Structure 1
């Protein structure tokens, strides 16, 4: 019963988001990549292949980020604002099932979106005979998916207790600081302020270190720059454990809310 109820919630989220013109992003991405392939050789002769790889992976990441933040923050908040959450929690559905089902549903959308964008990207590269390290690109895409799954959990957490606009801004801030956290720590160590150094280390410990899940640069230059298999496994586990922790906090906050 637990699995079936959660599956129904996840399926409804998946179908609702897919119908909400999300798949139009695939067509937009294909158009952008065709323009990039046509125009970049004219302005970046000699380095166009690396730039096309960079632009393609960055575009996939950006489009996935838009969906994760804007859709993720509204998953719970929209139900609360429309009062439809009262109907859902009145049924024999626990708040844990509700939160986890929502997260799994949007994660499934993210898997389809990133998979489709990556397939279009790789097909275009092969069509244009642009050399690229396939294994590295696929690994980068997999870790990109793990990053988006984590950000969906962040967006849902903020969406539980604040407005959609504020939740969107806070989630974007977490994404930005998460990619800069290692640099912030280094800057804190160079600074002569003990309080700033403590603040930098606190941010690093509290906020997710999203650079652990960023393999785009390594994918462009091949397997030689990739971390070891052990480090890759540890980074993947880090992302999954952090996601589980965020979902646990979200369930706790949601359970304490009065509707």
Structure 2
């Protein structure tokens, strides 16, 4: 525990202690979607060690038809004290009365990037034309079944004017990281939020798509209605959104949205 807390700055420790001063240790059930997972894996253990809480974490997409998707888990009645997910998907749960409206916190922004297999030549996607030519010449294209993939399938190809040419060779990949199917050679190029691409071994990060074509995904978190440990959950959310947590957040490929 001491070694882990030693990685936090003095200011971060003071802030975390203040957030959790009146909180009892609890077993928190956390549901987190892919884009914020890398940051959560860094920050969650620090919160747990500093507070005595344990974090029982379930991973799943923010939307979609798969049983693992967070809305579907909540619909089945799976217990959750915290949900971390795409902001507009969280808004839907708030509107449905499944997440407490005032509990929402803003966590980070995520941009779309591209990977190729390790050792493959990295194309230039820094310009609109460069990205367009990369897609036209790629033998196969993979994209996610979450927010970034929905944007690519429904909007990006159309905006580039290449929907008919690339549609037949592009596929949405459910549940698993897109970079993994590029790493094993099933697809030549893959697109997903940067924070979900970077952790996968065997795939090489090429870069973000041009800013003028970006679809920025906001990650947010909230406390479900019926949460067993709402006070402890709020302490976790306050910590994840705190200025002290931002170096870890940005180190995973996310962009900070803290207003402090």
- Calculate the TM-score normalised by the size of structure 2: 0.24
* Structure with the greater alpha carbon radius of gyration: 1
Report the structure, 1 or 2, having the larger strand content: 2
Report the structure, 1 or 2, having the larger helix content: 1
- Calculate the TM-score normalised by the size of structure 1: 0.24
